[in-house]
Amino acid sequence: MEWPNVLLEVFKDPLLDDVRPKVIAPTASDRIAKAQSELDAWIELHGREPRRDGDLKEKMMWARLIGINNQK
């Protein structure tokens, strides 16, 4: 795509040096999908679902699993 010269000059303005696109915050669905993906990876690595009595990481995964199951 060719930008018109007028626009190219506007973009070169030093006032626009710090302008960046707005970052879109993840939605609840995005967060659940990410949590599910992390749980799937954990289960694949360990060959079982996380348990409440495991180490800190496993406890966190267990809590995430309970949270996801409560969403259903």
**DSSP of 26-65, one letter per residue?**
PPHHHHHHHHHHHHHHHHHHHTS---TTS-HHHHHHHHHH
Q: Return the structure tokens found at 4.
A: 């018109």
Q: Return the structure tokens found at 69.
A: 């199951």
pTM of the model: 0.63
Instruction: Find tokens 């973009």 and name the residue.
Output: 11
pLDDT of residue 41: 96
Measured CA to CA, the distance from residue 14 to residue 7 in angstroms comes to: 14
pLDDT of residue 6: 87
| pLDDT tens profile 40-66 | 999 999 999 999 999 999 999 999 999
Q: Which of 41, 31, 25 is nearest to 71 (CA)?
A: 31
